[in-house]
Amino acid sequence: MDLIKELKELISQLGNAGFLHYLLEPLLLWGLLFGVTAWILSLWVIKSRAAQVCSLILIAGSAFSLLPYLHFREKAKSTINPPSAKLFNEQNERRRETQWVYYTLGSLAVLGLFMTGEGKGKSSHFLTLSITLGGIAAIVCSLWLHEKEIALFHRDARKPLRAAASRDRPVENPFKDSLELRRTAGSAPADAAC
């Protein structure tokens, strides 16, 4: 009965603030991404009010999940072991400074439940556009914040940035080695102009 043992452990983790913090974190990116995509599709492709309502609920739920996420992050602060306390504090500050993006989008989505749809007038069109553009902006913000989380906790997952080229040090051709190998093997490369 290993399954029952594993389920008991999983249920016990639902009281762990650190576990809940990590469980909610992807919702801020993926929930918004799927919600905004569904919103756009429901407006211009499906043209269904039910689909619009579902997508607005997903957007609002994902955006407002920031509140418990920040709560559990603060509660689990002592159990999270980042490589750098300074970088961790900077990331916490970034999360606090950008929370208005999520709350604004969530509020727009809740308003959209009542003020968008057929026959709602010009305010409906403005709100529809605001939700769409605000949703895209929130996704970009979430992506940026996730990139900073990866830089903090998973440094090996980041691709190193290439140094800018200068007159003293031009950017090298990344295919140089493969061209050299093909030339020494006796084949005439078709892309010798690289």
Our count of domains for the chain comes to 1
How far apart (Å, rounded) are the C-alpha atoms in residues 63 and 73?
A: 16
Q: Do the domain assignments include residue 48?
A: yes
Predicted structure pTM score: 0.76
Q: Do the domain assignments include residue 5?
A: no
Q: Do the domain assignments include residue 7?
A: no
Query: What are the CB-based long-range contacts (under 8 Å, 24+) for 25-31?
Result: 25/69, 25/146, 25/149, 27/62, 27/65, 27/69, 28/62, 28/63, 28/65, 28/66, 28/69, 28/102, 28/142, 28/145, 28/146, 29/139, 29/142, 29/143, 29/146, 31/58, 31/59, 31/61, 31/62, 31/65
Q: Do the domain assignments include residue 108?
A: yes
What is the pLDDT, as a whole number, of residue 166?
Answer: 55
Q: Do the domain assignments include residue 182?
A: no
What is the pLDDT, as a whole number, of residue 136?
Answer: 97
What is the pLDDT, as a whole number, of residue 159?
Answer: 72
Domain that holds residue 44: 14-165
Q: Do the domain assignments include residue 186?
A: no
Q: Do the domain assignments include residue 176?
A: no
Mean predicted confidence (pLDDT) in 127-155:
91
What is the pLDDT, as a whole number, of residue 149?
Answer: 86
Res. 151 pLDDT band, cuts 50 70 90: confident
Between 189 and 114, the more confident residue is 114
- Max Cα-Cα span within the chain: 71
Q: Do the domain assignments include residue 40?
A: yes
How far apart (Å, rounded) are the C-alpha atoms in residues 30 and 34?
A: 6
